[in-house]
Every structure is written in C-alpha cells, then in structure tokens.
Amino acid sequence: MAQEYPTQRPTDLEHGGGEESIPTELNSIPWIDIHNHAQTLSWNDREKFTLSGCESMVMMGAGYYWTPYKPVEPEDVRYLWDDALNRLPQIRQSHLLDAKVGIGIHTGARVKDYDQLLDVIPEYAALDEVAAIGEIGLTEAQHVSGWSLEEQKDVTRRQLEIAADHDLPAILHTPADLEDVEFPDRIRGNIPGYELDLSLQQEPVLTSDYPKREAVEIDVELKDDAGLPGDQMVLSHMDKKIAPYVLENTDCYLSFTVSYPWLLGVSPTDVAEIVAEYGPDRILVETDSAGVLRSDIFAFKRTILEMYRMGVDVEDIRQVVYENPRELLD
C-alpha cells in the first residue's frame, strides 16, 4: 500500500519515486590519479584531492612549462625531477596521500643533449618513490624550440625501453584535439585559462588531418619496438572520438582527462558513456591538474557520481577509478 503523508494536500510524495536506496560505497570509493602535476599546485588545491577521496597519485616531474629556457638543457629537466622528489615526503605528510613521482622527458620543447638524461633515468627508475616513466609521448607542435619527429620518436622509444626494463608503466600524453573547441575571439591574451603564449608555438611535426590518432599509432608502434607490454602503457587525454579506436585496435590503457573540459572537451558524461558501452577494462580517469591551466580537481569525484547516474555498476566504477590504476601501478 502506498505510504500516507500528513501533508495538507497531496504532494509529489504520494506518487512515489525518489526512494531508491543509494549504495553507501558510492561515497567511499577511493580513487587514484595516475597523471597529474600536483607538485605545481597550491597547498589548498592539493587538499582537494584528499577531501574528495583520492588515495594515491602519480605526480609527473616532467613538463616544459617550468623551465624558463628553450631549448631545454638536460640539467633543467633534472631540476624538475629532483624538485618533485624533494617535495614528495612533505606532500605525502601534509595531505595524507600515497603520492609517487613520474620521471620522464617531455617533448613539448626540444631538449638538447637528451642522451645525458637517458643515461641517468634508469637510476631514478630504480627508486621506490618513482612509480612511472612519464609524461612522455609525441607532441604535435613544440613551444619556442621545435623538435623533429625522428628525434621525438627516438627519445620516446628509448624511455619506453627503460619502462620495460624496470617493469614500470609509461604514461604518454596525446595531442589535444581542438577541432570542436570554441574560443572567444580575443584581441588580448591567448586561450582563456591557459598560461601559455600560443604565438610561440612552432610548426606542427604531426601533419595528418587527425594528429591525435597519428600520435597514438606511432606511440603504439614505439611501444612494440621497445618490448613494453600494452598493459603497462597509458594513453592520456583520451576523448569520445578516439576511445573506440584505442579500445578496438590496441591493448593499452586509455585515460580520460576530466579536469579541464573547456580545453579537451571531455565531460564526466563522456567517460560514463564509454564505460557503459565498452565495460570498465583498460579505462582510467586522471586530472592532469597543473599550475599552468585552469583545472577542477573535484571533477574526478564528479565523474564517479556521473557514472552511477548513467547506470554503471558500483563495481565497474570502482574498477575504473581504483582497481585499474592499482593494477597498473603495482
């Protein structure tokens, strides 16, 4: 019998609905961010990870944004690695996160004499604090100082070999697909939300109609050449357009960057739709939050909630945000 309510006249309650019980696990699923640059964020931003249920993260000590000089010298890259390592214990203690570091040569600006770095990466890769080789992978167009495709392939393949030798996962960025992104026609300033002078971008070295897919194809070839198993490679910045190709044609993990949809066009709903269609295997979520661009750390938790709303089982949600990254990092 329908419940009776002591309201003055019938309300919506009389018609039932809205009483479905919510699984309590939904609000306690821990999550792991396999790709961010949290060492470049503020204390307050890092606290948001803990507040929204993050258990563990891998902070990429790689990026061209934080070296003032272009082309980048080997010691500039070493500084980024050493800075991330140096700050790791305090970040772990302050925010009660099981944080680790990723070590890699970013291809966003040419790095001179990169052999010197390749010689020492194995020593870093052997550290307990280092959980991944990253972020690496081909870049469509460099900042200030261009880097040929052949050299980018060389530096990427040799880092994938180091990942294979040390049984570490490799985290690879893929080019942003800006085709459908609408930016205001500004007289002053570049992309809103991005602290990067786009007028200094160099000519693209990936020249097909669809550079994101071109990069994925080459990265996957390089992985095979390096002998790295597919389940140890992550393709970052995936979106709804490329995800089916990656799921159907490769054996790699794919990771959705959810914290800056204004640039990459990836919403929590997109992730939920792909998981609902393809299942949770090989899918990851990441924030890639960094001090150079406007990002929303809470978007990760929002993605968990949205997957539930889209009808994904709690067990499958847990697999995407926790079991998959745990397996990758272990």
Nearer to Zn ion, 33 or 135 (CB): 135
Residues 128-157, one symbol each (x = binds Zn ion by CB under 5 A, - = not), give: -------x----------------------
Q: Does 288 bind Zn ion (CB under 5 A)?
A: yes
C-beta of 172 vs 226, nearer to Zn ion:
172
Q: Among 19-27, 44-52, 121-129, 283-291, which window interacts with Zn ion (CB under 5 A)?
A: 283-291
Q: Is 286 in the site for Zn ion (CB under 5 A)?
A: no
Is the CB of 29 or the CB of 105 nearer to Zn ion?
A: 105
State the minimum distance, in angstroms, from the CB of residue 288 to Zn ion: 4
The total number of residues written for the chain in this structure: 330
Q: How many CB atoms lie within 10 A of CB 32?
A: 23
Instruction: Find out whether 235 and 160 touch, Cβ atoms under 8 Å.
Output: no
Residue with tokens 């996957």: 220
Query: C-beta of 234: minimal distance to Zn ion in Å?
Result: 11
Please count the residues of this chain forming the interface with Zn ion, following the rule CB under 5 A: 2
CB of 149 to Zn ion, least distance (A): 20
Considering the complex, state which of residue 317 and residue 328 has its C-beta at the smaller distance from Zn ion.
Answer: 328
Question: What is the number of the residue whose Cβ is closest to Zn ion?
Answer: 288
User: Strands 54-60 and 283-286, how do they pair?
Assistant: unpaired
33 part of the interface to Zn ion, by CB under 5 A: no
Which two three-digit tokens encode residue 254? Answer: 């794919």
How is residue 67 annotated by DSSP?
Answer: -
Nearer to Zn ion, 216 or 317 (CB): 216
CB of 215 closer than 8 Å to CB of 174:
yes
Q: How many CB atoms lie within 10 A of CB 91?
A: 20
- How much is the CA Rg of the chain, to the nearest whole Å? 21
Minimum distance from residue 60 beta carbon to Zn ion (Å)? 5
Are 223 and 164 in contact by the 8 Å Cβ rule? The answer is no
Instruction: Please report, as residue ranges, which positions from 41 to 80 form the binding site for Zn ion (by CB under 5 A).
Output: none
Tell me how far, at minimum, the Cβ of 13 lies from Zn ion, in Å. Answer: 48
Judged by DSSP in three states, 233 sits in strand
- When the beta carbons of 293 and 317 are compared against Zn ion, the nearer one is 293
Residue with tokens 């539930």, as numbered in its chain: 308
Q: How far is the CB of 143 from Zn ion (least distance, A)?
A: 14
Residue 144: how many other CB atoms lie within 10 Å: 16
For Zn ion, the closer CB: 67 or 319: 67
Which CA distances in Å does 241 have to 39, 83, 143, 213?
31, 36, 26, 10
- Residue 202 to residues 109, 193, 199, Cα–Cα distance (Å): 9, 21, 8
Binding mask 176-205 for Zn ion (x = CB under 5 A): ------------------------------
Q: Under the rule (CB under 5 A), what is the footprint of Zn ion?
A: 135, 288
